[in-house]
Homo-oligomer: A and B are copies of this chain.
Amino acid sequence: MAELNRRIVLASRPHGEPSPAHFRMEEVRAPTPQEGEVLLRNRILSLDPYMRGRMSAAKSYAKPVEIGETMVGATVSEVVASRHPDFAPGTLVVGFGGWQDFAISDGSGLRRLDPAVAPVGTALGILGMPGMTAYTGLLNIGRPKAGETVVVAAAAGPVGSLVGQIAKLKGARAVGIAGGAEKCTYLVDELGFDVAVDHRGPDLPGSLAAACPDGIDVYFENVGGAVFEAVLPLLNDFARMPVCGLVSGYSLTDLPPGPDRSPILMRAVLTKRLHIQGFIVWDFADQEAAFLAEVGEWLAQGRVKHREDIAEGLDRAPEAFVGLLKGRNFGKMLVRLS
């Protein structure tokens, strides 16, 4: 393999919002698989908000990407050389190939994809980590009942859009929060949300209250910040709040100015008997087969829909990722590698 491997490494750690300057493209020789390994050619790279956490040195549930290391990321990849008995060349898989053209894998964490079942890009979105995040968090922690109101932000994204659609399938009322009229129209007209609220509008608390006349029973938390502040007063007794992300705070360099509002939150927990629970998708790893079967069937039947936002070329990944953190994407953010 004399081929070149282009890879995007972390050039420096951002203090605050990341920019494309925090990344660097390198060209190296493509690696060679050893016995028991496969060489993957990455075809599609997934960009996800959690990657912001990997750029920081702060302790989280995964170790940070070191300076000079290739950025991590899920990929749809093709096996182009194999010294592994289970993966023949030509096999399409979903795995963790990272922000680069080629990757080596020992097969662990690879899952075979069948393009006849669903477009392979769905393995990074509605039938991948984002979809499973929505499915497991909503059904295990949110537990929406028919007639209840479910609110989710970043609702045009891959997690939020499936949260709202599953809420509808469970007979609940789905209220989505998104940025801009185009996304809001999409939520209601295409995905069947009951109401969409534009967080760029002049009065988010007032608009959200108007959209939730019976209060909020489930708030699927993936953004935090101003959205959560608008949600908190509207939560009903016994409301459930799965917490899978806080994207609005990922680039905060300082705590917000005072006063310290945490007593407001804890008092609401107490008096409203809220259930707040953080999770990451792999906490529910044993539900992956059930997720793939059920959401896969919904997708095949057209009962749930999805949308992709595709950047062309690995070199576009940094810019697309920065845009993702600002909500510039419309649908699941993917990078198609040449």
CA distance A260 to B263 in the complex (A): 10
Most chain B beta carbons < 10 A, residue from A228, A258, A283: A258
Check: A293 CB closer than 8 A to any chain B CB: no
Q: At the interface, yes or no: A116 with Cβ under 8 Å from chain B?
A: no
Find A278's partner among B246, B257, B272 (CB 8 Å cutoff): B272
Q: In the complex, which of the residues B61, B245, B260 contacts A262, with contact meaning CB atoms closer than 8 Å?
A: B260
What are 28 A-B contacts with C-beta separation under 8 Å? A60-B271, A224-B263, A243-B266, A243-B269, A246-B267, A249-B266, A255-B259, A255-B260, A255-B263, A256-B259, A257-B258, A257-B259, A259-B260, A260-B261, A261-B262, A262-B262, A262-B265, A265-B265, A269-B278, A271-B278, A273-B283, A274-B276, A275-B276, A275-B277, A275-B278, A276-B276, A276-B277, A277-B277
**A266/B224 in contact, CB under 8 A:** yes
Known: A255-B260, A274-B276, A275-B278. 20 other contacts (CB 8 A): A221-B266, A246-B263, A249-B266, A252-B263, A255-B261, A256-B259, A256-B260, A256-B263, A257-B258, A258-B258, A258-B259, A260-B261, A261-B261, A262-B264, A262-B265, A269-B278, A273-B278, A273-B283, A275-B275, A277-B277
Q: Which residues of B contact A279 (CB under 8 A)?
A: 273
A254 within 8 A of B: yes
Q: What is the total number of copies of this protein in its complex?
A: 2
Q: Is A4 an interface residue (CB 8 A)?
A: no
Q: Top 6 A-B pairs ranked by shortest CB distance?
A: A258-B258, A255-B259, A256-B260, A269-B278, A273-B278, A270-B278
A9: B residues at CB distance < 8 A: none
- Interface residue A67 (Cβ < 8 Å from any Cβ of B): no
List B contacts of A249 (CB < 8 A). 263, 266-267
Assess the B254–A259 pair: CB atoms within 8 A. yes
**Max chain B Cβ within 10 angstroms of own Cβ: one of A252, A263, A264, A265:** A263
A280: interface (CB < 8 Å): yes
Q: Is A44 an interface residue (CB 8 A)?
A: no
Contact with B along A278-304 (1 / 0, CB 8 A): 111001000000000000000000000
In the bound complex, residues from chain B placing their C-beta under 8 Å from that of A267 are 246, 249
| A275 CB contacts on chain B under 8 angstroms | 275-278
Q: Does A172 contact B (CB under 8 A)?
A: no
Q: Is the CB of A277 within 8 A of B273?
A: yes
Asked, given contacts A257-B260, A260-B257, whether A246 binds B266 with beta carbons under 8 Å apart, the answer is yes
* Closest residue on chain B to residue A277 by CB atoms: B275
Q: A280 to B274, alpha carbons, bound, how many Å?
A: 11
